[in-house]
Structure 1
Amino acid sequence: MTQAVRKTILITGASSGLGEGMAREFAKQGRDLALCARRTDRLEQLKVELEQAYPTTRVSIKALDVNDHDAVFRVFKEFKQEFGSLDRVIVNAGMGKGASLGTGYFYANVQTAQTNFVAALAQCEAALEIFREQNSGHLVTVSSISALRGMPRAMTVYAATKAGLLSLTEGIRADLIKSNSPIKVSCILPGYIRSEINEKVKNTPFMIDNETGCRLLVKAIDKEPVQSYVPSWPWAVIGFLMKRLPLKWVMKLG
């Protein structure tokens, strides 16, 4: 069965990293884009770039701090009104601050928890209000391979939020299955893709560049899977092992 073409795509956190890269890839396909992020100067540059390169692609941008939950609902509704419908929402905005618990960095850990989980919840709520009204749509959440197990040091809270997002996404899908809804839900688990959030991380195995990673992300998203590791090799295998090996062995995989 051929997947429906999702013409209008909303991406949060679209001013940099994976969000910016996915926007470029979808623009190549001729999709219309609703892009939002805190840094509107970056969004303005991206809008000009995409409209010049792909004149038939419609690009709308709005400022959005996803931790302003009222603004999330307002901006999503404004995009819906502007385009007439939203076919896909990609919950991508996130951050990677943090340190080992108990070392004085609660302020950073809680920022990551709020941005990566509570703000993601707001985005899912806002998207699904629109999708339920339309009786159609594709919700995509961007989790992480780190969601599969607990992680040390700076990754501890980050991994926990991504695990929470993975579980939240599955719960949403379960709810929609129970009600026989046509709304689709996907959770994407990227492996190591070089972007601004991890540009300072050194000596990481299996790291791929942002352009390649975003191309593979978009390819996976367009298949509308329940869950997908990106890239599938080697992360599908590593993911299988991560869920089963003793924790001290898991720490050696990455």
Structure 2
Amino acid sequence: MSKNILITGASSGLGEGMAREFAAKGYNLALCARRVERLEALRDELLQKHPGIKVVLKALDVLDYDKVFEVFREFRHELGSLDRIIVNAGMGKGQPLGTGYFWANRQTAETNFVAALAQCEAAMEIFRDQNNGHLVMISSMSAMRGMPKNLTTYAATKAGVAALAEGLRSEMLGKPIKISTLYPGYIRSEINEKVKNTPFMVDTETGCRLLVKAIEKETPSACVPAWPWVAVGFLMRNLPLGLVKKLG
């Protein structure tokens, strides 16, 4: 039986790339994002390549919290069930604290954490009712340690997402609801397209293929790609803060 997979933030970047990977595996997709025209183009592409799958779309700004619940419930109704929900929508805007950009840091905090909380609530409501499901949280390698300057708020939100997922995982141990946290390293996407000369950067297609591989294993947590990010994560967690600062 085909799996039904919901992906938020599916109009670009990692969400779009993962949708392509899952479609190639024959899975039905529920895709949502703000930019419906991008979703429609993606749907047409996927159905042309994989005519045996279903692709349903809905406009969603994850900051409209009531709408998050509404859209998730509608997707479940249309597909009959949701087997996996990937909380992917996010943003990378941020500035050093105390420099007059609270509005930007607040937007990042609300989008990456509060909206992720709403998505988790909506997902778990469905999974608890079904008594099965797989919730996937997209965190970041920056969650491993507090990061300086433009990354401070972003890293804090991604650490919050990881802690949220771990709390849920603890609660769901031994139950048919699985929780996975992924920590992407440098994967090229719209969120970092202006960043140049970054070491260990992989292209979007490669990164998304590896993300989907980790998701399919239903692993509790994974750094993606594994090399060099498992080693980098260990160093980030254990090196003196002065050295970690240089990574920011």
Instruction: Name the TM-score, length of structure 1 as normaliser.
Output: 0.96
Alpha-carbon separation, structure 2, partners of 1:242 and 1:153: 16
Alpha-carbon separation, structure 1, partners of 2:150 and 2:77: 40
Write the deviation string for residues 199-221 of structure 1: whole angstroms up to 9, x where unpaired: 11122111111110000000010
Equivalent residue, structure 1, for 2:242: 248
Change (3 A) 1:99 1:253: closer
Alpha-carbon separation, structure 2, partners of 1:239 and 1:6: 35
Change (3 A) 1:6 1:190: farther
Alpha-carbon separation, structure 2, partners of 1:204 and 1:53: 33
Alpha-carbon separation, structure 2, partners of 1:132 and 1:181: 10
Equivalent residue, structure 1, for 2:19: 23
State the percentage of identical aligned residues: 69
User: Which SS does the other structure have where 2:215 is aligned?
Assistant: helix
What's the CA shift for 1:13? 0.0
Counterpart selection for 2:152 from 136, 152, 156 = 156
Equivalent residue, structure 2, for 1:238: 232
Query: Is the counterpart of residue 169 in structure 1 residue 155 in structure 2?
Result: no
Equivalent residue, structure 2, for 1:83: 79
Query: Is the counterpart of residue 220 in structure 1 residue 229 in structure 2?
Result: no
User: Which SS does the other structure have where 2:246 is aligned?
Assistant: coil
What's the CA shift for 1:252? 3.2
Counterpart selection for 1:187 from 178, 181, 186 = 181
Change (3 A) 1:253 1:157: closer
State whether residues 6 and 87 of structure 1, in contact with CA within 8 Å, keep that contact through their aligned partners in structure 2.
no
User: Which SS does the other structure have where 2:238 is aligned?
Assistant: coil
What one-letter code is carried by the residue in structure 1 that aligns with 2:15?
G
Equivalent residue, structure 2, for 1:199: 193
Alpha-carbon separation, structure 1, partners of 2:150 and 2:37: 29
State whether residues 2 and 26 of structure 2, in contact with CA within 8 Å, keep that contact through their aligned partners in structure 1.
no
Counterpart selection for 1:67 from 49, 54, 63 = 63
What's the CA shift for 1:40? 0.2
Instruction: Name the TM-score, length of structure 2 as normaliser.
Output: 0.98
User: Which SS does the other structure have where 2:67 is aligned?
Assistant: helix
Alpha-carbon separation, structure 2, partners of 1:221 and 1:6: 16
Alpha-carbon separation, structure 2, partners of 1:176 and 1:220: 19
What's the CA shift for 1:96? 0.6
What one-letter code is carried by the residue in structure 2 that aligns with 1:109?
N
- How many residues end up aligned between the 2 structures? 248
Q: Which ranges of structure 2 fall in alignment gaps of 5 or more residues? A: none
What's the CA shift for 1:253? 4.3
Query: Is the counterpart of residue 14 in structure 1 residue 10 in structure 2?
Result: yes
Counterpart selection for 2:111 from 89, 110, 115 = 115
Alpha-carbon separation, structure 2, partners of 1:49 and 1:95: 25
Query: Cα RMSD over matched residues?
Result: 1.0
